[in-house]
Structure 1
Amino acid sequence: MIAVTAYRGERVAVFGLGRSGLAVAAALRAGGAEPVLWDDNHRQRDGASAAGFRVEDMATLDWTRVAALVLSPGVPLTHPEPHPVVRAARGASVPILGDMELFQMARADLPAHKVVAVTGTNGKSTTTALIGHVLGGSGRAAAVGGNIGAPVLALDPLDEGGVYVLELSSYQIDLTEAFVPDVGVFLNLTPDHLDRHGDMAGYATAKERLFTRQCAGQTAVIGVDDAHGLRFADRLHAQGTVRVIPISGARLLAGGVAVQNGTLYDQIAGQLTPVGSLSKAPALRGQHNGQNAAAAYAACRALGLDANTILDAFATFPGLAHRMQRVATANGIEFVNDSKATNVDAAARALASFDNIYWIAGGRPKTTDLSGLEALFPRIRRAYLIGEAAAGFAESLDGKVDWVMAGDLGTAVTQAWADAKGRGRAVILLSPACASFDQFPNFEARGDAFAAAVRALLGRDTPSAAEGGRP
């Protein structure tokens, strides 16, 4: 645990008692503060009480005695409207912050270290994990956390020279005022979470906050495969404050890093240098993973690692569960769990990585308009539609892609296998383009259910099926 001493002897309200909220409370208590906790869910409150924390209803809290409110990133700060606890804190002029801001406060008490922070709409977790994997393979101490794995304050302090590699959501960035990474990574920006940011401009502003406090000697790694990223990189270049390394998963870049046709290129120093092929890194297949690899390479180069060390580590990266994860193969048919694809753009990345696809899609939609995927429709043999999005997706696909109403995930897996087997090499792909909350508590549970359905199906149907791990 990383102790936070900035509020020693003071009362700090902690609202939202998921993993990060409890980690915040523990870090504050270890640093000598008096954390006061609350959550709208009584089970969360009961768990906090059982852990020995003071639990008090913040509707009746005396805010004049509170030094700060630490808010869970899942609690609305501004949109669609501020949570009542936010209004109460603001009414008493109490600062509102998140766990990343507390980590920034604690950094001065830690041994000398670096911080890499990764954000973007898609690819954050893979890129964060990949940077941590490369650093570990190089022998450099690294801790990976934030929006992936352990909350930042639950990480163990690193020895001198260590690197904290953190994934940050836009919600977490919204709750920062002084947090600044030594290396910031911005991957991409597509419509997502607009209910929490009001519109695309608000969403973009939240992401860009990660870089506003960077200064000379620090690095901004910026994905330029979308129009916003390209404009943002140009703005940072024009400001001339920090070192900017543009990255792409598709085209070569002056002064940047790119993957083109499966080969990684380094042009940071001006000369175009082919680093090597990603063909030996099966967990990084697909153009979107080319962007992730380019970003991880640029971040690790900014930290002083050499090109060959980075490329060698890419080859041993196991990938992440629920992100284009191969769960089994049988009779030339590959079953791929991409449950993390909770929006259309993320699903597009998976669809672009395969041919002969039996596509399982649906859930709770952020949109039912699939017109942005039309260039990929020829790759799809049939779509199996599930959840609340099924009718809307059917309307969007009608006359363009063969589809069936499967309704639920188990039925979709069974139908796709029946259609695919005996027809040559193919992929049965769960890439829902939707949130999971209509039928599952989260995308992990949905992905686990897909893998369980595949195992059950192949156990019945093909005893010789080869179970797969991460690609």
Structure 2
Amino acid sequence: MIALTSFKGRSVAVFGLGGSGLSCLNALSAGGAHILAFDDSEERCAVAAKIPGVTILDLREADWRSIDALVLSPGVPLTHPEPHWSVRLAQDAGVEIIGDIELFVRERNKQSPSCPFVAITGTNGKSTTTALISHILKQAGFDVQMGGNIGTPILELEPFDGQGDAERVYVIEVSSYQIDLAPNLNPSVGLLLNLSADHLDRHGTIQNYAQIKARLVAQSKNAIIGVDDRYSANIASNLRVKGNDVVAISGFANDRAGVRAPDGFLQSKSDGFLFNLDQARALRGSHNAQNAAAAVAIAQTFNLTPSQIAKGLTSFGGLEHRMEEVGHGKGFLFINDSKGTNADAAARALGAFPKVRWIAGGLAKEGGIDGLVDHFDRIDCAYLIGEAGADFAETLNQHGVPFKDCGTLDRALDAAIADGEVARADGESMEEVILLSPACASFDQYPNFMARGDAFRAKVSAYLNDESETQSQGMA
């Protein structure tokens, strides 16, 4: 845990006592802050009340004149659709509103400003890239602390080691919600992968969303930006005009990019690095080409050699729920891309295979799947689940894409396997790819995308293991 000594003796209000909120309470308590905490959940409040120095108080009853800062959970609305009541109270009292990333930034600035801090954001691919660069750096011998919006909350990571931090590196995935609560975000390496319409219910417009994302690279010592979409490319251009050093990266043959990946071959202008992505099974598809290009650009800021980078790329095992190979057998390849919660992410997954049986649906996001039209010819059949099923069916029907309205993930997987077995028996294919890439949130049927992906993995495992057990019993 990172104790927040920069808030010693100060009065801090905390609203939202989930995972990141509790980590903030523990870090503030360890640093000697005076803390008022509240959450709509009585159960969460009861847990928080056990932390030394924490007073549970409905913040509507607090004396805001005595409060120095409001630490807000990233899940609580700051601006859209309207500010949370705690935000309005803080604003009316002139109290700054910050989040856990900002707390980390201030403690780093105080204790160890030269400590390597890699911050990664983007609409899609940030989790994979965070895990990938963490893996590459670990392989090269660095003490990597990975967290933030992926896995461990940032303040629960190991503290600054007090020895100059030459080998300890913080690799942090940062969401737009967290950036919005981190006005002083100043990573030593900042990466913006890409931008497409997402979370507009919380940011209002794509323009506002892009401005928030741009803050991560605006104050970075080393700014690395994907230039495969116009919003990110414009951010890169604007930073260059201001005199910032920017390394552009691309998943395609883009001459503007310092690291690019034409036709699946990673190329770096700076050192002639060349790598065939076919050697990295966990990095299928053009979207992973951009992720890999980003990881190479980051690794180069740590002066890693081409052989060290290639070793890390080849040995990377992938990220759970993101183009994760969860089963291979009986003539099938099963891919769990449950983290593909919007159409842009699903497009990247569909683009990784020439033909797929596609399981899609859930709680729809703005735009539906209209943006996937260019990938419809890759779909042998779509198996639709959840609330979005009817809308997706209408779009697919308009474009002549075969589909089945299955309702649930279990029925969808059963139907996809049955159709695939028929196709193989008829000699239509040697191997069938069944892809779960929902293009939707999971909340209509599952608590989160992880639970949805776990359910898919479990059913795939049951299917693959059942026949093998039967065969072994027959052989006996």
- Give how far 1:51 is off: 4.3
Q: How do 1:104-123 residues align onto structure 2 when only pairs under 5 Å count?
A: 104-107=105-108, 108-110=110-112, 112-123=114-125
Cα contact 2:285–2:348 (8 A) shared by 1: yes
Aligned ranges 1:28-427 → 2 under 5 Å: 28-52=28-52, 53-107=54-108, 108-110=110-112, 112-159=114-161, 160-161=165-166, 162-214=168-220, 218-240=221-243, 242-254=244-256, 256-268=258-270, 273-367=272-366, 369-398=368-397, 399-422=399-422, 423=424, 424=429, 425-427=431-433
The percentage of counterpart residues that share the same residue type is 50
CA RMSD of superposed structures (Å): 1.7
| Native 8 Å contact 2:258 2:268 kept in 1 | yes
Match of residue 449 from structure 1: 455
Paired with 2:357 and 2:172, the residues of 1 have a C-alpha distance of 35
Q: Distance in 2 between matches of 1:319 and 1:331?
A: 23
Q: Which one is further off, 197-206 or 44-53?
A: 44-53
Which has a greater percent of helix?
2
Deviation readout 1:223-244 (Å, 9 max, x if unpaired): 011111222211112221x321
Contact 1:263-1:274 within 8 A present in 2 as well: no
- Structure 2 SS opposite 1:315: helix
Cα offset for 1:255?
A: 5.7
Aligned counterparts of 2:113 and 2:143: Cα–Cα separation in 1 = 12
Distance in 1 of aligned mates of 2:114 and 2:460: 47
8 Å CA contact retained: 1:287, 1:349: yes
1: CA distance, partners of 2:150 / 2:15: 20
Alpha-carbon distance in 1 for matches of 2:400, 2:204? 33
Shift of 1:111: 7.7
CA contact (8 A) 2:251 2:262 kept: yes
SS at match of 1:77: coil
- The aligned counterpart of 1:468 is none
Structure 1, unaligned runs of 5 or more: 466-471
Contact 2:26–2:51 (Cα < 8 Å) also in 1: no
Deviation at 1:463, TM superposition (A): 3.8
User: Equivalent of 1:434, from 412, 417, 440?
Assistant: 440
Amino acid across the alignment from 1:377: F
Distance in 1 separating the partners of 2:327 and 2:283? 18
Which segment drifts farther, 337-346 or 325-334?
Answer: 325-334
Question: Matches of 1:336 and 1:444 in 2, distance apart?
Answer: 14
Match of 1:469 in 2: none
TM-score (norm 2): 0.93
Aligned counterparts of 2:361 and 2:443: Cα–Cα separation in 1: 11
- The verdict on how the C-alpha distance between 1:104 and 1:383 changes in structure 2, with shifts beyond 3 A counting, is same
3-state SS, counterpart of residue 59 of structure 2: coil
3-state SS in 2 of match to 1:6? helix
Q: In structure 1, how many angstroms separate the alpha carbons of the residues matched to 2:458 and 2:418?
A: 17
Secondary structure (helix, strand or coil) at the match of 2:415 reads helix
State TM-score, norm by structure 1: 0.94
Q: Distance in 2 between matches of 1:39 and 1:47?
A: 11
Counterpart Cα distance in 1 of 2:305 and 2:436: 37
2:474 maps to which residue? none
Residues in 1 aligned to 2:62 and 2:300: alpha-carbon distance in whole angstroms: 49
**2:10 aligned with 1:4, yes or no?**
no
Residues 296-323 of structure 1: CA deviation (Å, up to 9, x unaligned): 1101101222222111111111111000
CA distance in 2: counterparts of 1:158 and 1:93, whole angstroms:
32
Q: What is the identity, as a one-letter code, of the residue corresponding to 2:294?
A: A
How far apart, in 2, do the equivalents of 1:308 and 1:460 lie? 42
Mapped to 2, the partners of 1:208 and 1:261 lie a distance apart of 29
Range moving further from structure 2, 2-11 or 24-33: 2-11
Q: Relative to 1, partners in 2 of residues 1:64 and 1:267: Cα closer, same or farther, differing over 3 Å? A: same
- Any stretches of 5+ residues in structure 2 without a counterpart? 472-476
